[in-house]
């Protein structure tokens, strides 16, 4: 499935809705630069990419994922989403993304470090605090960011902690980063419950993806008293209509076991989980989870995209016709990049800000961004999706920046 082709269709929809000129929208149809390398680790070679999509608003910004299914189409699509996400979040970044076609679950620490350093060796000339700033993504973490930072600094010959975010505290990271994506997603989910579900007394929640973001999100929602009836990881799911004991399930998961082995519920497949009757469905796994094949069977009232691109273009239309509201990824999962911005700003200025202040700032930005998207959605009386509202706001900000740079004609 060509993910990027779906992105272009969504871009065309926004161009039509907002009467954007062809020469303007053309600036967002392809990346500024595609960098490719093969990382040689012993007798193995791993394809690797760093794609800078747009820099009208600032340096590139986007994570690096290690996954056996990474492809150029996927990385380009992720970079495109980062452009829109950073614009919508009103932070001074363009968009970029990186990836290595590699399965870290099959690697020992020595190989994992070698791949990380080889990535920095391959792309260090493209990276930098004012050029393109990576961060963790699927199957990467602060430890991997540390190796990349160290290798980068060896290459350039100076300290530059702002060239990467999601680092350990000792290397200039910030504590808030560990659950920032989940924290942001939780805040907009609460707004969706208030605005769309009208603060329904008992809200049932299903979560696909029980990794870092999905797990933290589940804990936050359960702590507020919402009934989590099902969760899943890559090996399957667990379902209990009466509600799962989330604290016990997290302990079970952290012991190294799969959630479908948990005894206090019925084991189900990921496919079954998506089609459960629920108020909120949180998608926190990978791309292309809801497609034309299963969209008609989705029974959730609201879907929150904590993952990037979990719903394909044609499925979006089916869900809209079913009156299922989708809180789009570029809004729902933007907490991570907002906190990355806080980390980057501290690294560049040397000014250390209190954690409570940053928590409040994240809260304010997420609520303001939700409000802008939801207000635009209401202005169109529900004739557009929340995704189209979000894309419209993000695209217009980028094109204004391009206009001021003299790259597009005034509207």
Binding residues: 61, 85, 181, 212, 340
Q: Of the listed 9, 45, 97, 167, which one is catalytic?
A: 97
Known binding positions for substrate: 61, 85, 340
User: Rounded CA gap, 386 and 328, in Å?
Assistant: 7
Known binding positions for NAD(+): 181, 212
What's the Cα-to-Cα distance from 310 to each of 84, 223, 278, 293, 398, rounded to whole Å? Answer: 16, 26, 18, 14, 24
Among residues 401, 411, 410, the alpha carbon closest in space to that of 95 is found at 401
Identify whether 97 is a catalytic site residue. Answer: yes
8 A C-beta contact, residue 248 and residue 178: no
8 A C-beta contact, residue 280 and residue 193: yes
8 A C-beta contact, residue 15 and residue 399: no
User: Rounded CA gap, 182 and 304, in Å?
Assistant: 11
The catalytic residues are: 97
């Amino acid at each position: 499935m060509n993910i990027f082709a779906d992105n272009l269709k969504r871009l065309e929809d926004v161009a039509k809705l907002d009467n954007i000129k062809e020469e303007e929208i053309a600036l967002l149809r392809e990346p500024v630069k595609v960098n490719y390398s093969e990382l040689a680790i012993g007798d193995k070679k791993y394809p690797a990419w760093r794609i800078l999509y747009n820099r009208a608003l600032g340096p590139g910004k986007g994570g690096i994922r290690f996954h056996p299914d990474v492809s150029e189409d996927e990385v380009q699509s992720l970079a495109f989403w980062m452009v829109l996400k950073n614009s919508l979040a009103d932070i001074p970044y363009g968009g970029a993304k990186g990836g290595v076609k590699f399965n870290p679950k099959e690697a020992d620490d020595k190989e994992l470090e070698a791949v990380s350093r080889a990535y920095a060796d391959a792309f260090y000339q493209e990276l930098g605090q004012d050029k393109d700033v990576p961060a963790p993504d699927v199957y990467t973490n602060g430890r991997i960011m540390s190796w990349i930072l160290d290798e980068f600094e060896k290459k350039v010959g100076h300290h530059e902690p702002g060239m990467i975010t999601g680092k350990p505290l000792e290397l200039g990271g910030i504590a808030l980063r560990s659950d920032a994506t989940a924290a942001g997603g939780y805040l907009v989910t609460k707004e969706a419950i208030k605005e769309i579900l009208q603060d329904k007394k008992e809200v049932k929640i299903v979560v696909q993806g029980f990794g870092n973001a999905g797990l933290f999100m589940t804990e936050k929602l359960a702590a507020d008293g919402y009934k989590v009836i099902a969760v899943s990881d890559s090996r399957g799911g667990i379902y209990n209509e009466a509600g799962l004991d989330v604290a016990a399930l997290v302990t079970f998961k952290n012991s190294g076991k799969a959630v479908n082995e948990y005894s206090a519920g019925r084991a189900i497949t990921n496919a079954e989980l998506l089609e459960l009757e629920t108020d909120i469905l949180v998608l926190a796994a990978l791309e292309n989870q809801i497609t034309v094949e299963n969209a008609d069977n989705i029974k959730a009232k609201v879907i929150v995209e904590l993952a990037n691109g979990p719903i394909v273009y044609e499925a979006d239309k089916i869900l809209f016709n079913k009156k299922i509201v989708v809180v789009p990824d570029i809004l729902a999962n933007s907490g991570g990049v907002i906190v990355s911005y806080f980390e980057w700003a501290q690294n560049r200025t040397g000014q250390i800000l209190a954690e409570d202040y940053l928590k409040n700032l994240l809260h304010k930005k997420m609520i303001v961004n939700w409000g802008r998207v939801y207000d635009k959605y209401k202005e169109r009386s529900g004739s557009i999706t929340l995704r189209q509202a979000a894309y419209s706001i993000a695209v217009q900000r980028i094109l204004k920046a391009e206009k001021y740079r003299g790259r597009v004609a005034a509207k």
